Amino acid sequence: MTISDETLMAYADGEADAATRASIETAMRDDPEIARRVALHRAMRETMQGAFATVIEEPVPERLIAAARGYARPATATAHSAVADLAGARNAANRKLEGSAARRWQPAALAACLLLGLSTGYLTWHGSGTLIEAKADGLIAGAALADALSSQLSNDRSAGLVAVTGLSFRNKAGAYCRTFLLSADAAWGLACRDRTRWKINALAQAANDTNNANFRTAESALPAPIRAAVEALIEGEPLDQNAEVAARRAGWATTTAH
């Protein structure tokens, strides 16, 4: 009985139908040569299964996880840039801080701004677990960031703060919103009060120098995506210090239109 090698291969791969399977199994019993050829196909299958096995063991780059969750910038634009994701941008920003005293915006810094759509999914923000938390309806400020947003005034530049608050304003619904800079991450964000939480509306990575002298002038250093988000939400003027103190005293509770 002659059986083509492709048929034996399909059998070894579990692709043969029941009738073919039965006839091959009969043939294997009768003809050691056929049994040997099937064994060869199976051995090949086993051997190739191990190929590139180390890739499976490797940690998956953060930028790919971010892309799968819908948070990455298009790969086509960033394929070989040093800043491919938030973690990368943060590292780049840190390297910049260490290696350079340059404090002005670079074109690359603008390109590194990353506005995140926050309606679904969540962000794994490594090393900052208490700053950003994922909830079913989006991102909210974690305990440390919420504390900063609720308690700090915008002129607070004390050392060791996890976040510096920038601009405070009311949105069109009367809720308070504040911009902030995560000190460790060189990331800017915008959060609005949502009942007792601070909901994150936007986050942007700024790969510029973030020393204290710079973020005193919060408005000018605000990354374009955050500035755009502020402009889209703001109703009236930003709060002055007295208004901030009053809002803080009221627990940043939503106020009716003034």
Partner 1 sequence: MSTNEGLENIQEQIVALLPRLRRFARNLVRNPHDADDVVQIAVERALLRQDQWRSDARLDSWLFKILRNAWIDEVRSRGRQAKIFMPEEHGEHVGEASMEREIDRWTAETALTRLPEDQRLAVSLVLIEGLSYKDAAEVLEVPIGTLTSRLARGREALQGMLRLPEGDVS
Residues engaged in binding partner 1 (CB under 8 A): 5-6, 9-10, 13, 15, 33, 36-37, 39-41, 43-45, 47-56, 58, 60-61, 63-65, 67-70, 72, 74-76, 79-80, 84, 120-121, 136
Cβ proximity to partner 1, 36 vs 126, nearer residue:
36
Cβ proximity to partner 1, 36 vs 216, nearer residue:
36
Least distance from C-beta 2 to partner 1, angstroms?
12
First and final C-alpha spacing in the chain: 93
Q: Please enumerate in sequence order all residues whose Cβ is within 8 A of that of 64, keeping only pairs 6 or more positions apart, or say none.
A: none
Tally of CB atoms within 10 A around 115: 16
Cβ proximity to partner 1, 69 vs 197, nearer residue:
69
Cβ proximity to partner 1, 78 vs 210, nearer residue:
78
Least distance from C-beta 126 to partner 1, angstroms?
15
Cβ proximity to partner 1, 54 vs 256, nearer residue:
54
Distances (CA, A) of 108 to 10, 44, 47, 114, 180: 54, 49, 46, 12, 21
- In angstroms, the CA 40 to CA 28 distance is 13
- In angstroms, the CA 154 to CA 167 distance is 7
Least distance from C-beta 56 to partner 1, angstroms?
5
Contact 215, 166 (CB under 8 A): yes
Which residue(s) pair with 188 in the sheet? 181, 204
Cβ proximity to partner 1, 54 vs 158, nearer residue:
54
Least distance from C-beta 65 to partner 1, angstroms?
6
Least distance from C-beta 111 to partner 1, angstroms?
17
Which residue type is seen at 80? H
Least distance from C-beta 199 to partner 1, angstroms?
16
Least distance from C-beta 192 to partner 1, angstroms?
20
**Lookup result for tokens 């051997």:** 47
Tokens of residue 70, six digits: 């819908």
The helix/strand count (H/E) of the chain reads as 13, 7
- In angstroms, the CA 167 to CA 160 distance is 19
Distances (CA, A) of 144 to 8, 19, 128, 141, 183: 64, 67, 9, 8, 12
Cβ proximity to partner 1, 72 vs 190, nearer residue:
72
